[in-house]
């Protein structure tokens, strides 16, 4: 959804290139989009932020059960507010096709992994790993392999060198499984492995190719953890 016709055409063109993706509707204002979303179920929503009368942030807050959402905007500063609302990705305009595909891959990964009904079990007396239960299988996940955890709605996405795992639970509950000082909560929606941090640039952390936002309420905690005090 975007109030700019050209921006909607660009995304529609990208979607048309991908046979496994269907565009159900496209809207130029938040009011029509809200009515559609209240009456229909969709897998994902690409949502502009700066729109007249009602912006994308207000729309997302009004939805009782919002779909997986990707924010699209020309303003980088909105990324941090977007992650507070549990969006899965943030696309900065002008949006390239490769970057659009990355966002779709995140959505597909989340939807497919969510369907596996994965749970986490604490390993008594073994702080270096946890067990991840998927179906009838139990998989050992070493904490040293984990790079960061992202909260998304009622789930948490664990990013590790061996892949991604989606588990039921909040970021707060993940803090009990991924304790300090090995892991640091840096945002309402993110926990990072301290040893995996490459650099800290203003209000974000760089881990590999990923940029993790730093929440205002977590800056002091991060600085203390990095300094060792």
Q: What pLDDT digit, counting tens, does each position of 32-55 carry? A: 999 999 999 999 999 988 877 788
For residues 142 and 162, the answer to whether their CB atoms sit within 8 Å is no
pLDDT, tens digit, 9 for 90 and up, residues 118-158: 666 655 555 688 887 766 677 788 889 999 999 887 888 88
> What CATH number was assigned to the domain covering residues 5-114?
3.40.50.2300
The model's confidence at residue 19, banded by pLDDT at 50, 70 and 90, is: confident
**What is the reported pLDDT for 138?**
77
Q: Which whole number is the average pLDDT over 4-30?
A: 90
Residue 179 pLDDT level (bands cut at 50, 70, 90) = confident
Q: Which two tokens stand for residue 214?
A: 């730093």
pLDDT at res. 146: 93
Rg (CA), the chain: 18
Q: Where are the domains of the chain?
A: 5-114, 118-227
What pLDDT sits at residue 132?
A: 78
Task: Please check the confidence at residue 203 and state whether its pLDDT lies above 90.
Answer: no
pTM here is 0.77
Question: d(Cα 115, Cα 143) in Å, to the nearest integer?
Answer: 23
* Top-tier CATH class for 118-227: mainly beta
The region, left, alpha or beta by phi > 0 then psi within -120 to 50, assigned to residue 80 is alpha
SS3 content of the chain, % helix, strand, coil (to 5): 35, 30, 35
Which has the closest alpha carbon to 155: 116, 192, 185, 128? 116
Q: Residue 32 has which token pair? A: 């029509």
Q: How far apart are CA 173 and CA 122, in angstroms?
A: 12
Give me the half-sphere count of Cα atoms (radius 13 Å) on the Cβ side of residue 131: 12
Give the per-residue pLDDT at 96.
Answer: 94
Show contacts of 55-61: CB within 8 Å, 24+ apart.
Answer: 55/30, 56/1, 56/30, 57/81, 57/82, 57/85, 58/30, 59/1, 59/30, 59/33, 59/34, 60/85, 60/87, 61/85
């Amino acid at each position: 959804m975007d109030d700019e016709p050209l921006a909607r055409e660009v995304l529609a063109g990208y979607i048309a290139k991908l046979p496994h993706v269907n565009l159900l509707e496209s809207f130029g204002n938040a009011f029509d989009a809200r009515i559609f979303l209240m009456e229909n179920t969709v897998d994902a929503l690409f949502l502009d932020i700066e729109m007249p009368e009602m912006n994308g942030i207000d729309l997302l807050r009004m939805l009782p059960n919002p779909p997986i959402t990707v924010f699209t905007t020309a303003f980088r500063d909105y990324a941090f507010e977007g992650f507070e609302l549990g969006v899965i990705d943030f696309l900065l305009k002008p949006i390239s096709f490769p970057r659009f595909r990355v966002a779709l891959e995140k959505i597909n990964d989340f939807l497919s992994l969510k369907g596996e009904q994965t749970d986490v079990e604490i390993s008594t007396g073994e702080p270096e790993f946890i067990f991840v239960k998927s179906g009838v299988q139990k998989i050992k996940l070493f904490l040293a392999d984990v790079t960061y955890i992202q909260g998304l709605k009622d789930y948490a996405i664990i990013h590790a060198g061996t892949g991604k795992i989606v588990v039921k639970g909040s970021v707060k509950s993940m803090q009990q499984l991924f304790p300090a000082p090995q892991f640091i909560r840096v945002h309402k929606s993110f926990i990072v492995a301290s040893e995996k941090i490459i650099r800290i640039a203003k209000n974000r952390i760089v881990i590999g190719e990923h940029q993790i936002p730093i929440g205002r309420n977590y800056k002091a905690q991060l600085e203390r953890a990095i300094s060792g005090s």
